Chain A
Amino acid sequence: MKISVGIFLMLVASIAASAQKPAAAPKLHASAIQIDVVDVGDVSIPAEFRYAIYERLIEQIRASGVFKTVYRSGDKAAAAVPDLVTLHTEVEAFQEGSQMKRELAPVVVGSTKVDVTTQVTDKDGKKLLDQKMTGKVRIFGENLGATNDLAKRITKLLVASF
């Protein structure tokens, strides 16, 4: 008897939990995206990281096929697209590691990490997405590998949202 009551209570709880789950956010729509040059603010980050993030974002978002057109920052043709969205990336923190240290003592020391805030806005400047993301390289590879990791994560977010 006690067991059946327990099972009943568990069933009720699971049904209630599933009923309370928020519905998946509706997907956003845009035919084109413009990628802004990474804003570094006051964070000390080498120029190659800043432009590697920018270039890798363009490369990977193009490869994902989410948007019909991917425009670079400053591209004049973007202004004519009515449903254009813009990707803004702002560096919040940067920690440059060492490839040698990483390979000698993996995970413990030497990891390179870049924290950013990613925002997608529409033509009126309304925020459609706002999320903090991190790119890392923990063991193998050059420090610049963190930019590739970050671009992959941001692209994944865009694929899930559009």
Chain B
Amino acid sequence: MKLNVLLSILMGAGAALAQAPAPPPAPPPNIRHVIGLEKIKRNANGHLTIQNGVMQFTAKKGDATVAASSIEDIFVGTETGQSGGTAGRVVKTAAMAAPFGSGKVLTLLMRTKFDILTVVYRGADGGVHGVIFALPKGLAESTRSQLVAAGAHTSAPQTELKDRTK
């Protein structure tokens, strides 16, 4: 009897789980604009989307678009830097004053690896632009593939994809 009750509870729970709505899609990853987009501030965080043949970077203050067909080259690399953004930099700098160099431990703890995506495109006036993004590790190659699928050109398929972190 008890076994039957337990089984029916488990089956009921299973059915309820099966009917539960799908979890919402994960938010787009946070990407840092290092330099290159004239309308966007240096080191602004935002989201990068590739839709309808257009690459769009949306930051808190404004956005910038680049037609994928105007992209002449894409390079992917990796880098090791400091996590925590501006706050992290302030904390680390303050910790440098700690006695016996103990603050340097933060340098070791606050390391993070990230990908670097360099997009070279030509503006409407013919001028060459180089845009550099810092992305979460492992995301640059897929972004590059999306850009190529959207119509971007590239001359260096994998040559830049090497770990230079030290």
Contacts and interface: CB of A to CB of B under 8 A. Distances in A.
Interface of A: 37, 46-48, 50-52, 54-56, 59, 71-77, 96-101, 103-104, 140, 142-144
Contacts, number: 86
A100 B111 contact: yes
B93 interface: yes
B85 to A, nearest CB: 12
Interface string B144-166: 00000000000010001000101
A51 B120 contact: yes
Interface residues on B, range: 20 to 34
14 contacts: A37-B128, A37-B130, A47-B118, A47-B160, A48-B75, A48-B77, A51-B120, A52-B130, A54-B128, A54-B130, A97-B166, A99-B81, A104-B104, A144-B132
Contact of A99 (B36, B80, B127, B131): B80
Nearest to A140: B93
B126 A51 contact: no
A158 B76 CA distance: 32
Given A75-B125, A103-B107, A47 B77 contact: yes
Residue from B35, B82, B96, B166 whose CB has the most chain A CB atoms within 10 Å: B35
B116 interface: yes
B105 to A, nearest CB: 10
A74 B166 contact: no
B129 A72 contact: yes
A97 B116 CA distance: 16
Given A48-B118, A55-B35, A74-B126, A98 B166 contact: yes
Given A47-B118, A56-B35, A96 B164 contact: yes
Contacts of B122: 74
B109 to A, nearest CB: 11
